[in-house]
Amino acid sequence: MYLLYLDDSGSVPNKNERYFVLAGVCVFERRIHWVQERLDKLAETIYPADPNGIEFHPSEIFSGRKPPWNSLKPDRRKEIIKQVLQSIDAEYESTVIFACAVHKGSFVGQDPVLLAFEDLVSRFDLLLKRKYSVEGDSHRGLITACLSRLL
């Protein structure tokens, strides 16, 4: 089974933000352990007292406004973002990154969350169909989402 975890960035009602972004990472279920293991080791180097409390949200890491990121220098925070991406990239054969940025001004009266979600679901479905038709891979897919609001 292929698992797609989606997360959003941006606020639909915020007029100061021109875009709403929905992105995700798709990993084959048997490869998640290895990604998780690398991320756990990285978390231990950042906050040994509570590595399970670390969440790798790039915008929070980059801004350095909240703990534990506010105790790290900008270069170290950038390095952590790179290490997170390398943890995912190490599983490149079974990992796919999806993203959709909706320019809110171009879709007035339409729900950018729904537009982005439909786009990514469509792309995920195409990936699974392609894996079946090209490789004979009949695994299914499951989407998990952590959206700031319900669809």
Pick left, alpha or beta for residue 2 (phi over 0 → left; psi -120 to 50 → alpha; otherwise beta). beta
User: How many CB atoms lie under 10 A from the CB of residue 43?
Assistant: 20
pLDDT at 128: 97
Per-residue pLDDT of the chain (151 residues; tens, 9 = 90+): 999 999 998 888 898 999 999 999 999 998 888 888 999 999 999 999 999 989 898 889 999 999 999 999 999 999 999 999 998 888 777 789 999 999 999 999 999 999 999 999 999 999 999 999 999 999 999 999 876 654 4
- pLDDT, residue 146, reads 75
Alpha carbon 96 to chain centroid, angstroms: 10
Cα 135 to chain center, whole Å? 26
Going from N- to C-terminal start, the domains of the chain cover 2-146
CA–CA dist 112, 9 (Å, integer)? 11
| pLDDT at site 150 | 47
| Pairing relationship of beta strands 141-146 and 2-9 according to DSSP bridges | parallel
